[in-house]
């Protein structure tokens, strides 16, 4: 049975994090169901200068992540399609990764608003007690942001802020290394193998 990871990309800054997670899932031969929120089209356009269109999703995805996905197992569901597979708990998935996660999507999922397929799919994976990883990207935060993250934690999600450590590559880490650090932590959280960063060896300054 196909049990994809649902990857939800919201309109928070940080589309490179999503691209790195998608590449790593493909590298690990894991099937992916992709949902891109309406607002994420703006951040993808802003951060990559490329559009993301439902009708051209495969070509736009390839341009965005810099990879030919033709051979990969990826299924795309428009964010407005509330009848899509991941809108039901009977649709098999391994779980869901929301990367990056806007404050709006954190609030919507914490409150169960299901205002689009992305929020509905996250709620479904939580209610089915499947792994859900939320990668919030906002700073500074309000009390309500924090309360929504606590609600998500209590509902079973792993809250994994886009807050890269420098210990894997040192103070001269490139932006790509910092992005890969977060993507690697996302994959660690759900037990998918990767080589995105060097692990702590127990020795200071070993990088």
Ligand X SMILES: Cc1cc2nc3c(=O)[nH]c(=O)nc-3n(C[C@H](O)[C@H](O)[C@H](O)COP(=O)(O)O)c2cc1C
Residues of this chain that bind ligand X (CB under 6 A): 10-13, 37, 39-40, 42-43, 46, 102-105, 137-138
Minimal distance, residue 202 CB to ligand X, in Å: 34
- CA pair distance 94, 39, nearest whole angstrom: 25
Outline where DSSP puts E strands in the chain.
5-9, 32-36, 74-76, 95-101, 132-136, 158-159
Nearer to ligand X, 38 or 199 (CB): 38
State the nearest-atom distance from the C-beta of 45 to ligand X, in Å. 9
Minimum distance from residue 144 beta carbon to ligand X (Å) = 12
Phi/psi class of residue 129: alpha, beta or left (left: φ > 0; alpha: ψ in -120 to 50)? Answer: left
Measured from the CB atom, the residue of 149 and 169 that comes closer to ligand X is 149
**Of 48 and 198, which has the nearer Cβ to ligand X?**
48
Question: Tokens 């490329």, residue?
Answer: 50
Beta-sheet strands, E only, within 26-111: 32-36, 74-76, 95-101
Nearer to ligand X, 39 or 168 (CB): 39
CA angle 152, 52, 59 (to 5 degrees): 120
Residue nearest ligand X by beta-carbon distance: 11
Q: How far is the CB of 102 from ligand X (least distance, A)?
A: 4
């Amino acid at each position: 049975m196909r049990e994809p990871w649902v990857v939800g990309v919201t309109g928070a800054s940080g589309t490179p994090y999503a691209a790195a997670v998608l590449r790593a899932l493909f590298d690990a031969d894991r099937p992916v169901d992709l949902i891109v929120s309406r607002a994420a089209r703006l951040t993808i356009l802003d951060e990559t200068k490329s559009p993301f269109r439902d009708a051209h999703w495969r070509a736009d995805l390839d341009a965005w992540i810099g990879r030919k996905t033709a051979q990969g197992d990826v299924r795309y569901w428009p964010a407005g399609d509330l009848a899509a597979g991941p809108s039901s708990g009977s649709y098999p998935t391994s779980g869901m990764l929301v990367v990056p996660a806007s404050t709006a999507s954190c609030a919507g999922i914490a409150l169960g608003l299901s205002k689009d397929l992305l929020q509905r799919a996250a709620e479904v994976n939580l209610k089915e007690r499947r792994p859900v990883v939320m990668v919030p990207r906002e700073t500074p935060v309000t009390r309500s942001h924090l309360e929504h993250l606590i609600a998500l934690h209590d509902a079973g999600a792993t809250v994994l802020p886009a807050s890269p450590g420098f210990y894997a590559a040192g103070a001269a880490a490139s932006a790509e290394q910092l992005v890969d650090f977060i993507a690697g932590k996302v994959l660690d959280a759900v037990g998918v193998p990767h080589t995105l960063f060097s692990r702590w060896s127990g020795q200071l300054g070993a990088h």
